[in-house]
A and B are shown apart, each in its own frame.
Chain A
Amino acid sequence: MTKPQAIDVNPSFKENLPKEKFDELDSFVNNLETTRSALIEILHKAQKIFGYLPRDVQLHIARKLGIPGAEVFGVVSFYSYFTTKPRGKHTISVCTGTACFVKGSDKIIERVKEKLGIGSNEITEDGLFTLKDVRCLGTCGMAPVMMIDDKVFGRVKEEDLDNIINSYRNKEL
């Protein structure tokens, strides 16, 4: 339930949604014991496969489960974990929990924004990073904390940021 996400009513033609990915999603749904109460689980899987949940994917899931598209969208927009916008290759999550806040995470996130030239929930031009401000990552002992994909960086200092971000940039070279 963080920031409301802008919704595109018109289908976008630029989206690249290969059929294989839909097949992968379908076979996951088919293998479920029951689809009852499984919507969130399916959306997690879909976001893993596609990277995000565009309109077409949401509608596909709705048809597959035989429920209204609005219901699917209602769930997608409720939870902050789901995104309807494409994500960068790596997701940088900066913790904005209380412990991190009192240890200066507001400065960290400002510096990251500056360095990447984007705001939160936005994607860098090269498509490499998405920035998210997240609620507590539960690693308060290491505050301030940031996470890139599944890797947690603790006791982050402003001067470390270049090194951390560049280490991901260099992997691409």
Chain B
Amino acid sequence: MKINSLDKLKKIRNEYQKNVCLRVNSTDSENSDIRIEILIGMATCGISAGAKDTFNAFQEELAKQGVNDAKVVSVGCIGYCHSEPTVQVNIRGREPVLYGNVKKEEVQEIVQKHIKGGNPIEALTLAINFERA
């Protein structure tokens, strides 16, 4: 499919927007198709800290605990090398939560308490607070 005009690009943008609007503003994203989104930082530094294991653990754990409306996405690094692997959990209608140092051992707790229970695990969270252009 060739995008051969600016209008077509905008059409595609609108079409796919519902896939990412949770990330742009999760507190105001009624029309998001996805209810829960788990972003895992998978750049070289994240991967060397075990992000691949974390990624797989999330997929297994979600299946095991019967959560079927959550999407696991691999993203680039957010720059917090000191706390790799980093995981961001976006739930529709709530503030996004960023976790640091999420090894595969931590995944079960995050899925159970936060994703199913709705209570973020304070001890693992990092403050996320910057402006994007």
Contact = CB atoms under 8 A, between A and B. Distances in A.
Chains A and B belong together in one complex: yes
Interface of A: 137-142, 145, 151-155
Classify the secondary structure of B's interface with A.
helix
Interface in B13-62: 44-45, 47-49
A142 B45 CA distance: 7
Interface in B44-100: 44-45, 47-49, 81-82, 84
A141 B51 CA distance: 15
Nearest to A152: B48
Interface residues of B, number: 8
Contacts of B49: 142, 154-155
Contacts of A153: 48
Interface of B: 44-45, 47-49, 81-82, 84
A142 B47 contact: no
Nearest to B79: A141
A150 to B, nearest CB: 10
A147 B49 CA distance: 13
A141 B47 contact: no
B43 to A, nearest CB: 9
Nearest to A146: B48
25 contacts: A137-B44, A138-B44, A139-B44, A139-B45, A139-B48, A141-B45, A141-B81, A141-B82, A141-B84, A142-B45, A142-B48, A142-B49, A142-B81, A142-B84, A145-B48, A152-B44, A152-B45, A152-B47, A152-B48, A153-B48, A154-B45, A154-B48, A154-B49, A154-B84, A155-B49
